[in-house]
Amino acid sequence: MQLTVLGSTGSIGTSTLDVVSRHAGAIQIFALTAHRQVDVMLRQCAQFSPIFAVMTDPEAARQLESKLKSEGLATRVLVGPDALIDVVTDARVQAVMASIVGAAGLPPSLAAAQAGKRLLLANKESIVLGGQLFIDAVKGGGATLLPIDSEHSAIFQSLPEDPRVWDSRIDKIILTASGGPFRTRDPATLSQVTPQEAVAHPNWSMGRKISVDSATMMNKALEVIEAHHLFGVKPEQIEVVIHPQSVIHSMVQYRDNSVVAQLGTPDMRVPIAYGLSWPERITSGASALDFSQLNALTFETPDLRRFPGLQLAWDALNGVQGGSAKLNAANEVAVESFLNGKIRFDQIHAVNAEVLAQEGHIQPQSLADLFELDAWARAMAEDWVVRHGQ
C-alpha cells in the first residue's frame, strides 16, 4: 500500500511512521508533508525514501532541498499548500493519513475524500469545519473513512461493520475524557494557568494545540461534533464521561442498554495501526494492558464550571447552521493567542462563546462559504483578543 502522511513531523505523523516501520514490506511511503520542521523531515526522508516531501513554508522547502542534495537523497521537494493536494490525489496513492493540525488540513483531507482514497482522519478540525459537506465528499468520492481520534476509533471498533444498521441499533455514544491536567484544580485559579502547565497532559503525549484543547475540554467538544458527523447520531445521543485512567477509549450503548467498549493502553499507535490494517489487525508497538496492575476504573460527570467549553458543542450543533465552523475558528485563534501570551487560559472560553454567539453571517452551503465563515470568525476572535487581551 502506498501511503501519504500529511503532517508527518507532528505527534500523530511520527507515531504513524513508527507503525509503518514495523510493516515496511506492506506499506510504502509515497509522500511526507510538514510545515517548517526541516531537520525532522530530512531524517524521515532518509529513513522512508518517499518520492515527494512537501514543505508548506517556502523557506523550509529551500532548506530541505539543499540538505537532501548534500546527503545524496533522491526525494523531490514540493512547496506550498497546493502541493498537498497533488500528493494525496496522485493515482499511485492508496491511503492518506490526515494529521495536519487545524483547519489548514481540510483542503487536502477533502481532496483525498473526493479522490476515493482510504482516508485515515486524525485532523478533527477538518470534519468540525467541513461537517456534512465533508461526509458528502467521502460518499461521493467512494472513499473509506477511518477515524484515528482514539475515541472515534474506539466507537468504530465497537460498532457493527455495516453502517446501515447503526441508526436502528445505537441508543447513545459515550465519549470518555481524561479530564486533562486541571480535572481537580480549583476553577477560581484557572486564570493563572501558564502555557507550560496547559500542555502537560497526564496520560497522552500530543501536539501543543490539542494539549491545550484537552486542558479546556474543547477537545471533547470538538469530538462531540466529530462523532455527530462520523456516526450520524443526534447531538442528544452523545454523552461525555470523565474517566481519568484513559483505559476505556469510548463506548456505544445499544437500544437494549448493552454497552460495548474498547480498551487499551493510551497509545495512538493502536488506532493508527487499525486505520492502516482495517478490517485486519497488525502489530502496533503499543504495550498490552496489564489487568493485574489496574487498580480501579473510575468515572465522573464533567464539571461545567471548570469546563464551560464542553457545552459549546451542543450549542453549536443545535444552533444555526455554521456554528461548528465558527467555534472551531474562534478556538484556533484563542489557543494560539493563549500560547503566545496574549490572553489568559480562562479567556479561551470567553473568545469561543462570544464568537459562537455572533449572528448575522452567512448560512454555509458550499465549501467556499465555509472558508468565508472561517475567516470571518477568525477576524472576530482576533478583534476580541486585541480588545480584551494583555
The span of 202-210, 345-353, 365-373, 376-384 binding ligand NDP (CB under 6 A) equals 202-210
Nearest CA to 104 out of 321, 268, 329 is that of 329
Sign of the four-CA dihedral 273, 240, 110, 43: negative
Binding string to Mg ion for residues 342 to 361, with x set by CB under 5 A, is what?
Answer: --------------------
Site residues for ligand NDP, 49-68, by CB under 6 A, read: 56
Question: Whose grid coordinates read 476553577?
Answer: 187
Give least dist CB 254 to ligand NDP, A: 25
Is 217 an interacting residue with respect to ligand NDP (CB under 6 A)? no
Which of ligand NDP, Mg ion, none binds 108 (CB below 5-8 Å, type-dependent)? none
Is 149 an interacting residue with respect to Mg ion (CB under 5 A)? yes
Cβ neighbours for 281, distance < 8 A, ≥ 6 positions apart: 273, 274
Give least dist CB 60 to ligand NDP, A: 7
Is 9 an interacting residue with respect to ligand NDP (CB under 6 A)? yes
Nearer to ligand NDP, 275 or 308 (CB): 275
CA 262 to chain centre: 19
Sign of the four-CA dihedral 198, 203, 205, 206: negative
Nearest CA to 85 out of 132, 40, 61, 117 is that of 117
Give least dist CB 105 to ligand NDP, A: 6
Question: Distances in Å between the alpha carbon of 96 and those of 129, 223, 296?
Answer: 19, 21, 38
The span of 9-17, 88-96, 167-175, 231-239 binding ligand NDP (CB under 6 A) equals 9-17
Is 202 an interacting residue with respect to ligand NDP (CB under 6 A)? no
Up-side HSE of residue 363: CA atoms within 13 Å toward CB? Answer: 3
Nearest CA to 97 out of 36, 203, 18, 42 is that of 18
Site residues for ligand NDP, 90-129, by CB under 6 A, read: 99-101, 104, 122-125
Site residues for Mg ion, 151-190, by CB under 5 A, read: 151
Residues that bind Mg ion (CB under 5 A): 149-151
